[in-house]
Amino acid sequence: MITESNRIEYKQELTDSLEKEIIAFLNYREGGIIYIGIDNNGKIIGLNDSDDIQLRIKDRLKNNIQPSCLGLFDVISLNYDGKNIIKIIVASGSEKPYYHKKYGMTQKGCYTRIGSASEPMSISMIEGLFSKRTRNSISKIVSNRQDLSFEQLNIYYQARKIKLNDKFTKNLELLTQNGQLNYVAYLMADENGTSIKVAKYRGIDRVNLIESNEYGYCSIVKATKQVLDKLELENRTISKITSKERKDHRLWDPIAIREAVINAIVHNDYSKEVPPKFEIFSDRLEITSAGSLPEGMTKEEFFEGYSIPRNKELMRIYKDLKMVEHLGSDVPRIIQSYSKDSFKFTANFLRMSFMAQEPVFNTDDKDNSIGGSIGGSIGDLTEKQEVVLKLIIDNNKISYRTIANKLNINDSAVKKHLEKLKEKNIIKRVGGTRGHWEVNLSK
């Protein structure tokens, strides 16, 4: 194990000082990691009931620290050599100073990291941080609508076997201090005015727009899934057959792109009322989000995965729904496939640019749509039929249910689209439910 440092703390067991250590990392510009079940010398001791300890940790951090640190920590159970330990990842908070609720914003309640120790903050440091505390947090902005409904959000939570009770607006921090629905609630609501654009251009600039789609006016979680599905459709598979084998690869690395999409949406600065946008060019995919590096964070810290969530409330919900794994995991995953040069920072925006492994458009495409390159010879298809056909071309073993999930429609609607494609003799099912689709584009 690595030794204790300014970002690493070991604890042999859960003690009363846990809040102190968490607060110190929340107030520290790089955040940190606490391991429980390891002694000060780095020897793994292990824990007898790690599941119970995890629950106690989450409960203590939820109730004993102010401002709320929900969305700023992960509690993970690990096993080394048959011994259970707990890893707590803590992000640097944007609402410093954080303090122990019992002692308030005092020297006894506020801590920060100095070297490998958690030390009390001075009065001047506490006052200085408080004066700089973020004022444009979307949790503090009152929604311009208070008649919001959250059926879509409830469905997503139910899918994860999490029940939202009558106090979910408070528990998910969808309320201002005055009890009004805030901008987080507005983004999560079934109806809102936020829309995310996915545009396609022929060429390497924005001169020739050939397709523009908007996903939104609904829960931002639903819009996120729609954007991911759209980019998954665009991320076609290229096959190269050699004398020995067939090699398949995608235009873009799908894991990196998923991380980049969610990063852009979760960390976007919505206080500027500018949603992220996604643009496909003939040679690349560009993702632009409002807001540059968080105050105090360097580019080196950004690339190393230090996390200062701009919207901790969104982060918490996306983590609940398993759309985000661990704090700070997104950027390191992206740079496993793409260089740091793919990121461009300006005063107000972050742009990620991912070059395609092959030309995005086939050379024989006239307008890069299935209706253009295929529909001209096979007859007019509706937009949904085109998308269904493309899914089948990309995966000839795709199931009804998978198509329905990707298009966010029910099975009966999928069946109707497939029947139309069969009537035109464009597709044929071979081998029943365990078989595959055959595509004939010569009709």
* Domain map (residue ranges) of the chain: 8-131, 196-355, 370-439
Confidence of residue 292 (pLDDT cuts 50, 70, 90): confident
d(CA 414, CA 425): 17
Q: What is the pLDDT of residue 373?
A: 42
What are the Cα distances from residue 136, in Å, to 95, 109, 167, 177?
A: 10, 25, 25, 14
Q: Which of 74-88, 245-259, 366-380, 398-412 has the lowest mean pLDDT?
A: 366-380
Query: Has domain 196-355 been given CATH number 3.30.565.60?
Result: yes
Tell me what the mean pLDDT of segment 164-192 comes to: 94
Query: Has domain 8-131 been given CATH number 3.30.950.30?
Result: yes
Q: What is the pLDDT of residue 377?
A: 39
Q: Is the pLDDT of residue 443 over 60?
A: no
Say if residues 423 and 443 touch (Cβ distance below 8 Å): no
Q: Which CATH fold topology does 370-439 show?
A: Arc Repressor Mutant, subunit A (1.10.10)
Q: Is the pLDDT of residue 183 over 50?
A: yes
Q: What is the pLDDT of residue 46?
A: 93
d(CA 210, CA 208): 6
Confidence of residue 369 (pLDDT cuts 50, 70, 90): very low
Tell me what the mean pLDDT of segment 245-269 comes to: 90
Angular region, 26: left φ>0, alpha ψ -120 to 50, beta rest: alpha
Name residue, tokens 């969104």.
314
Q: What is the pLDDT of residue 243?
A: 58
Q: What is the pLDDT of residue 225?
A: 94
Q: Is the pLDDT of residue 439 over 90?
A: no
**267: nearest Cα among 327, 198, 207, 338:** 327
Tell me what the mean pLDDT of segment 189-213 comes to: 92
pTM confidence score: 0.68
Encode pLDDT of 300-346 as tens digits: 888 888 777 889 899 999 999 999 877 777 898 899 999 999 999 99
Q: What is the pLDDT of residue 397?
A: 84
The CA angle 177-180-186, to the nearest 5 degrees, is 115
Q: Is the pLDDT of residue 131 over 60?
A: yes
pLDDT above 90 covers a percentage of the chain that reads: 56
Say if residues 256 and 354 touch (Cβ distance below 8 Å): yes
Q: Is the pLDDT of residue 150 over 50?
A: yes
Q: Is the pLDDT of residue 385 over 90?
A: no
Residues in the chain, total: 443
Q: Which two three-digit tokens encode residue 240?
A: 């190269």
**Cis preceding-peptide flag for 67 (omega within 30 of 0):** yes
Q: Is the pLDDT of residue 140 over 70?
A: yes
Q: Which residues of 195-206 are buried (b: 16+ CB within 10 A; e: fewer)?
A: ebebbbbbeeee
Highest mean pLDDT among 92-101, 388-397, 399-408: 92-101
Encode pLDDT of 37-70 as tens digits: 999 888 999 999 899 999 999 999 999 999 989 8
Name residue, tokens 């921090």.
173
Tell me what the mean pLDDT of segment 236-242 comes to: 74
Q: Is the pLDDT of residue 266 over 90?
A: yes
Higher pLDDT: 214 or 370? It is 214
Q: For the beta carbon of residue 437, count every other beta carbon within 10 angstroms.
A: 21
Angular region, 215: left φ>0, alpha ψ -120 to 50, beta rest: beta
Say if residues 236 and 203 touch (Cβ distance below 8 Å): no
Tell me what the mean pLDDT of segment 405-414 comes to: 80
pLDDT above 70 covers a percentage of the chain that reads: 92
8-131 with 370-439: one CATH topology?
no
Confidence of residue 117 (pLDDT cuts 50, 70, 90): very high
Question: What is the Cα Rg of the chain in Å?
Answer: 25
Encode pLDDT of 9-38 as tens digits: 999 999 999 999 999 999 998 899 999 999
Q: What is the pLDDT of residue 41?
A: 87
- 336 CB contacts (<8 Å, ≥6 apart)? 256
Q: Which two three-digit tokens encode residue 196?
A: 């995310």
3-state secondary structure the chain: CCCCCCCEEEECCCCCCHHHHHHHHHHCCCCEEEEECECCCCCECCCCCHHHHHHHHHHHHHHHEECCCCCCEEEEEEEECCEEEEEEEECCCCCCCCEECCCCCCCCCCEEEECCEEEECCHHHHHHHHHCCCCCCCCCCECCCCCCCCHHHHHHHHHCCCCCCCCHHHHCCCECCCCCEEHHHHHHCCCCCCEEEEEEECCCCCCCEEEEEEEECCCHHHHHHHHHHHHHHHCCEEEEECCCCEEEEECCCHHHHHHHHHHHHHCCCHHHCCCCEEEECCCEEEEEEECCCCCCCCHHHHHCCCCCCCCHHHHHHHHHCCCCCCCCCHHHHHCCCCCHHHEEECCCEEEEEEECCCCCCCCCCCCCCHHHHCHHHHCCCCHHHHHHHHHHHHCCCCCHHHHHHHHCCCHHHHHHHHHHHHHCCCEEEECHHHCEEEECCCC
Torsion of CA 130, 300, 277, 369, to 10 degrees: -160
